[in-house]
Structure 1
Amino acid sequence: MSLRLNIIVAACENQGIGINGELPWRLREEMKYFSRMTKATKSSEKQNAVVMGRKTWESIPDKFRPLPGRLNLVISSRAKLPWRHIRRDPGPEFSGSTVCSSFKEAIDKVHSRTDEVESVWAIGGSSIYEMALESEHLHRIYLTRILKDFECDTFLPSFDPKKFQIVTDPVVPNEVQQEGDITYKYEIYEKLK
């Protein structure tokens, strides 16, 4: 099976994706979209994997960690520490997840479980997105474009739109969405072969 890696991210007009380890906006419907997209599989026998950095893991409220219904892979330099060489016990701070020392290790772990995992979603932060953008396995970028500026300290790495085509998906709304005073739209970029 060819591994399909997707990026899912929400970015505002200045390409900002976060501030102080949190999202700069609260969009309930957009969060439901994130959950729906990263959980959905064609096969009821499989689940998806989500790959994230340590700071993204820590930004998820405790009651939602690990993200349910998905294989959670956390990339952390702490995984390189000698006392972590037996990774069956990632430690209480990563309970319920698989800790990896690199993006490559996370992808390799998913490759070894293709009978259980349908697709992989890179969910943040910035350095994880950067590695996913460079990955030979990258299939699509699911970008929620927040049509407003927010103060941010973390940004989506730039990508060359000429290497992608914009596609539609019947499960992704085409029209502009509105929550409170924030409008946003969903875009899907599929990597050209």
Structure 2
Amino acid sequence: MSFFKCLTLTTKDKEKQNAVVMGRKTWFSIPEKHRPLAGRINIVLSRELKELPGAHHLVPSFQEVVQLLKEPSLVKKIEKIFVIGGSSLYKEAIDSSYCSKIYLTRIDHDFQCDAFFPELDTNKYLLIRDAEVLQEEQEENGIKYRYEVYKRHAQL
């Protein structure tokens, strides 16, 4: 979580913030005392909800997220945009032409779960070395993991 927080909070331009885009279930998975995620513009996608106290923006579709983020008032405030879940939003973003980079934590352990990160198309994305991201294997509470960074081929 500390890497996620640092990555999504840090900006080069101190006058700007990063945006975090998430689905409704991801929003509600964040403990209420931490919503909205501080220091970031929180955008929630939900086809069902008509209002969501605490979220900076609530939109019904990925295309409307894209349109919102093109608004001049937001363009001048936002440095980077991070899609932070859930799985269907990840897939839609990764399959779109808007996704340029993927920060992935690969966990070397099996867990019982019901949501999965989509398979990455290696014809579209290439694993790269990123100087800002420690990519050596790490361990926490006996669980090994590593950070991986992928970049869209067309941008290499």
Q: State TM-score, norm by structure 1.
A: 0.75
- Tell me the residue number matched to 2:4: 34
Q: Can you list the C-alpha shifts for 1:41-68, whole angstroms capped at 9, x where unaligned?
A: 1211111111100000000000110001
Q: How many Å separate the matches in 2 of 1:167 and 1:159?
A: 14
Q: Structure 1 unaligned runs (5+)?
A: 1-30, 85-89
* Aligned counterparts, 1:1-193, within 5 A: 31-79=1-49, 84=50, 90-92=51-53, 95-112=54-71, 113-193=74-154
Q: How many Å separate the matches in 1 of 2:70 and 2:5?
A: 22
Q: How many Å separate the matches in 1 of 2:52 and 2:118?
A: 31
Q: Can you list the C-alpha shifts for 1:74-132, whole angstroms capped at 9, x where unaligned?
A: 001124xxxx4xxxxx343xx23310000111121111111111111010001110111
Q: How many Å separate the matches in 2 of 1:126 and 1:78?
A: 17
Q: How many Å separate the matches in 2 of 1:64 and 1:153?
A: 24
Count of residues paired in the alignment: 152
Structure showing greater relative contact order (alpha-carbon pairs closer than 8 Å, 6 or more residues apart): 1
The CA deviation at 1:169 is 2.0
Q: How many Å separate the matches in 1 of 2:135 and 2:121?
A: 22
The CA deviation at 1:167 is 1.6
**Structure 1 range deviating more: 101-110 or 58-67:** 101-110
Which amino acid in the other structure matches residue 43 of structure 1?
Answer: D
Identity percentage of aligned residues:
44
The CA deviation at 1:158 is 1.4
Q: How many Å separate the matches in 1 of 2:30 and 2:3?
A: 16
Which amino acid in the other structure matches residue 76 of structure 1?
Answer: S
Superposed CA RMSD in Å reads 1.2
Q: How many Å separate the matches in 2 of 1:162 and 1:135?
A: 14
